[in-house]
C-alpha cells in the first residue's frame, strides 16, 4: 500500500470553491501540509482553485493519478469509482456515507466492492474523513486536525473519536505518523492497515478505535502479528445491545460482545483502554518508554498525598511498591538532613528539602541505582524554583529503566519547553497522579502480554 500512503499525484473529484465545503478543506490540507506531489482539482465549476488549474473530469487529467479522493454524493461516487477503475487508478478514498449503514445504500456498497475487485482498487472508506500520512505531508483528509509528526499510527472507525484521540495526543506532546479513518471498510479492513504497519518504518506504536468487525478471525490474526513487533493499544466500544445497533447505523459494523473482544485482544497481545483519554495515555507511554524488567516500582516526591493517590492505582494495576534498603534510607537521610520529620521509605517523601534541585537530583540518582524496575517522580511547579530538567536528563542517560514524571499544580502551556525536552529524551510528563499511574499500568500490561507469548528478547 506504499503508493496509497505516498502517492506522487492526487486528484480530488468534486472539489468546490466554498471555503466550508468538504472538498475545499481537503484541497487546503494537501496544500498547507506541503504535499510534494502533483495535485489535480477535478470540477467543471471552476477554472482554478488556490492557483491550481481545475479539470472538468478525470479523463482530462494530464496523467493517471496515484490516488483519487472522491468527494461527490454517495450515488455519484459509484460512477466516479467505475471511471477510476477504467483508467487504471489503483487507490481511492470515498468520503460520502449512506451505504451499508441503511436502506438503499447497502446495494450501492455491494457495487462499490464489485468495482474494486474488478479493477484491483484499494479503497479507503467509504464514510470516512480520509487519512493523513503526517510525516509524508499527504493529507487527503477534509477536517482540521492539529498534530505534529511522530511515530504513533491511529486507526479509527469513527472520525470524531479519532480526532478526539489525535487532539489528546497533541495536548500530551505526542505526534502521529499516520491517521486513518477506516470508515465502512468495504475493501480495506483493519487487518490490511495493520499488516502494512508491521513494516512501516515511520510507525513505532499503533492505536485502534474499534466499533466492530465482520471478520474477527483475520482482525485478531493481524492484531497478533502487529503486536508481536510493535505495541498496540485499543479502545473497543460497546457491551449493551443499544450500542450494537448504533454501531451498525454508524459504520455498518457488528459490535459484538465487549468481553469476547477483550479476551481476544489479550490473546493477541493487545493492550486495552477504556476511553479516548486512556487510549492517548497508553499510546504515549508505550511509544516513549522501554519495558520494565519486572514490577518493582519506586516513587519519589516531596508531598505525600499525590504519591498515595498514585500508589493506590498502581497497586491495582499489578505494580509492587517494595521498601527501601537500609543503606538507601540512611543515604537519603544524609542528603536531605537527619532532622527530616518523616520516616523515609517508598514512596520516598523528602518533604520540603526535596523541593530543591540540589537535593532532588542526588536522591533520584541514588534511587536509580537501587533494584527497582521503574520510577514515578513528582515535582511541584513553582515559578521561583526551576524544574530540574538538566539533572533529570543526565540521570536518564545513565539508565535504561522507565521513568515517568508528574508535574503538580501546572498545565502543559506553562511548562511546554521543559516538557518537550524531557519527552524528547524518553521521560513522559503527566499532570495528575492518576495519569502517571495509568501510563505505568499500560507499560506493565504490555510487558506481561509479551512475557506470556514468549516475545521478550
Pairwise CA distance, residues 293 & 405, whole Å:
19
pTM: 0.94
Which grid cell sits at 350? 523528602
Instruction: Show which of 262, 288, 314 is a domain's final residue.
Output: 288
Instruction: Show which of 270, 288, 306 is a domain's final residue.
Output: 288
pLDDT tens digits for range 306-334: 999 999 999 999 999 999 999 999 999 99
User: What is residue 250's predicted lDDT score, i.e. its pLDDT?
Assistant: 46
Instruction: Report residue 257's pLDDT band, with 50, 70 and 90 as the boundaries.
Output: confident
- Other CB atoms within 10 Å distance of the CB of residue 337: 13
113 and 125 assigned to the same domain: yes
For residue 419, the number of C-alpha atoms closer than 13 Å in the C-beta half-sphere is 20
Would you say residue 385 lies in a domain? yes
Give me the DSSP letters along 160-225: HHHHHHHHHHHHTT--EEEEEE-TT-SSS-HHHHHHHHTS-TT-SEEEEEES--S-HHHHHHHHHH
C-alpha distances out from residue 346 to 170, 191, 349, 372, Å? 33, 44, 8, 11
- 202 or 339, higher pLDDT: 202
437 and 297 assigned to the same domain: yes
Mean residue pLDDT of the chain comes to: 94
Q: In the chain, how many domains are there?
A: 3
Cβ atoms 207, 155 nearer than 8 A: yes
Instruction: Report residue 111's pLDDT band, with 50, 70 and 90 as the boundaries.
Output: very high
Pairwise CA distance, residues 437 & 311, whole Å:
8
Q: Would the pLDDT of 248 be above 60?
A: no
105 and 163 assigned to the same domain: no
Would you say residue 309 lies in a domain? yes
Average pLDDT over residues 50-57: 97
253 and 361 assigned to the same domain: no
Which grid cell sits at 113? 466492492
Give me the DSSP letters along 360-415: HHHHHHHHHTSS-SEEEEEEE-BTTB---HHHHHHHHTT--S-EEEEEES--TTTT
Closest CA to 290 of 404, 415, 369: 404
Average pLDDT over residues 146-174: 98
210 and 191 assigned to the same domain: yes
Q: Would the pLDDT of 189 be above 50?
A: yes
- Residue 102's domain comprises 1-144
Average pLDDT over residues 191-214: 97
332 and 439 assigned to the same domain: yes
Pairwise CA distance, residues 431 & 171, whole Å:
11
Amino acid at each position: 500500500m506504499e503508493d496509497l500512503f505516498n502517492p506522487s499525484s492526487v486528484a480530488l473529484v468534486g472539489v468546490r470553491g466554498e471555503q466550508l465545503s468538504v472538498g475545499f478543506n481537503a484541497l487546503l490540507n494537501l496544500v498547507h501540509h506541503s504535499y510534494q506531489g502533483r495535485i489535480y482539482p477535478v470540477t467543471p465549476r471552476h477554472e482554478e482553485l488556490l492557483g491550481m488549474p481545475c479539470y472538468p473530469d478525470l479523463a482530462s487529467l494530464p496523467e493517471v493519478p496515484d490516488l483519487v479522493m472522491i468527494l461527490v454524493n454517495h450515488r455519484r461516487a459509484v460512477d466516479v469509482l467505475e471511471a477510476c477503475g477504467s483508467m487504471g487508478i489503483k487507490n481511492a478514498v470515498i468520503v460520502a456515507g449512506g451505504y451499508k449503514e441503511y436502506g438503499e445504500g447497502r446495494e450501492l456498497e455491494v457495487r462499490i466492492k464489485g468495482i474494486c475487485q474488478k479493477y484491483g482498487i484499494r479503497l479507503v472508506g467509504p464514510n470516512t474523513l480520509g487519512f493523513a500520512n503526517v510525516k509524508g505531508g499527504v493529507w487527503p483528509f477534509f477536517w482540521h486536525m492539529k498534530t505534529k509528526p511522530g511515530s504513533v499510527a491511529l486507526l479509527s472507525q469513527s472520525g470524531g473519536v479519532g480526532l478526539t484521540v489525535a487532539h489528546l495526543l497533541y495536548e500530551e506532546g505526542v505526534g502521529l505518523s499516520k491517521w486513518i479513518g477506516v470508515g465502512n471498510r468495504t475493501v480495506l479492513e483493519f487487518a490490511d492497515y495493520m499488516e502494512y504497519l508491521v513494516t512501516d518504518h515511520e510507525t513505532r506504536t499503533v492505536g485502534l478505535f474499534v466499533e466492530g468487525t465482520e471478520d474477527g478471525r483475520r482482525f485478531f490474526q493481524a492484531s497478533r502479528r502487529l503486536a508481536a513487533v510493535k505495541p498496540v493499544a485499543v479502545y473497543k466500544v460497546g457491551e449493551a445491545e443499544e450500542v450494537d445497533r448504533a454501531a451498525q447505523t454508524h459504520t455498518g459494523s457488528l459490535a459484538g460482545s465487549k468481553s469476547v473482544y477483550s479476551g481476544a485482544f489479550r490473546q493477541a497481545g493487545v493492550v486495552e483502554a477504556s476511553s479516548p483519554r486512556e487510549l492517548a495515555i497508553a499510546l504515549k507511554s508505550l511509544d516513549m518508554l522501554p519495558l520494565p524488567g519486572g514490577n518493582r516500582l519506586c516513587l519519589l516526591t516531596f508531598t505525600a498525598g499525590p504519591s498515595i493517590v498514585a500508589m493506590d492505582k498502581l497497586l491495582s494495576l499489578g505494580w509492587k511498591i517494595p521498601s527501601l534498603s537500609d543503606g538507601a534510607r540512611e543515604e537519603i537521610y544524609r542528603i536531605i538532613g537527619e532532622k527530616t520529620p518523616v520516616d523515609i521509605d517508598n514512596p520516598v517523601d523528602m518533604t520540603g528539602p526535596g523541593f530543591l534541585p540540589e537535593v532532588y537530583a542526588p536522591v533520584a540518582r541514588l534511587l536509580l541505582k537501587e533494584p527497582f524496575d521503574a520510577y514515578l517522580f513528582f515535582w511541584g511547579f513553582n515559578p521561583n524554583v526551576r524544574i530540574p530538567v538538566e539533572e533529570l536528563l543526565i540521570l536518564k542517560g545513565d539508565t535504561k529503566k522507565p521513568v515517568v514524571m508528574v508535574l503538580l499544580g501546572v498545565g502543559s502551556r506553562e511548562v511546554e519547553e521543559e516538557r518537550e525536552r524531557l519527552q524528547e529524551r524518553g521521560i513522559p510528563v503527566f499532570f495528575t497522579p492518576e495519569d502517571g499511574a495509568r501510563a505505568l499500568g499500560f507499560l506493565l500490561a504490555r510487558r506481561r502480554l509479551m512475557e506470556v507469548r514468549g516475545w521478550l528478547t
